[in-house]
Amino acid sequence: GENVEQHPSTLSVQEGDSAVIKCTYSDSASNYFPWYKQELGKRPQLIIDIRSNVGEKKDQRIAVTLNKTAKHFSLHITETQPEDSAVYFCAASISSVNRDDKIIFGKGTRLHILP
């Protein structure tokens, strides 16, 4: 079955700097890659997602890149702010536009934004 590896497990960056989280997946059939942010004691919330037919997607300070050949995808957060501190999960799924499927999550990256 699908396996998603995520690193680093912990990341500390100075406020205003960029943060990068990297993931790899094992199942070449995976075609949907969401990223979730989870604050302490809260539910996971989708922050950005990408499908396999594109290589990059950007939403304000957040961008995700996908390399299907290498089965790598990454989250980039620029101009980090204190409210970016949270645990971030990458995930992979075999989903089509009209059919959802289970999501396999990485183990998470705890991001600390230092003042």
Partner 1 sequence: GAGVSQTPSNKVTEKGKYVELRCDPISGHTALYWYRQSLGQGPEFLIYFQGTGAADDSGLPNDRFFAVRPEGSVSTLKIQRTERGDSAVYLCASSSGQSNEQFFGPGTRLTVL
Distance CA 16, CA 77 (A): 10
Site string for partner 1, 61-100 (x = CB under 8 A): ----------------------------x-x-x-x-xxxx
Per CB under 8 A, the list member of 64, 66, 75, 103 interacting with partner 1 is 103
SS3 for 49?
strand
Q: How far is the CB of 58 from partner 1 (least distance, A)?
A: 18
- The partner residues of 87 in beta bridges, in order of sequence, read 38, 110
Nearer to partner 1, 35 or 80 (CB): 35
- The partner residues of 45 in beta bridges, in order of sequence, read 37
Per CB under 8 A, the list member of 24, 34, 77, 85 interacting with partner 1 is 34
Per CB under 8 A, the list member of 42, 56, 79, 81 interacting with partner 1 is 42
Cα-trace Rg, the chain: 14
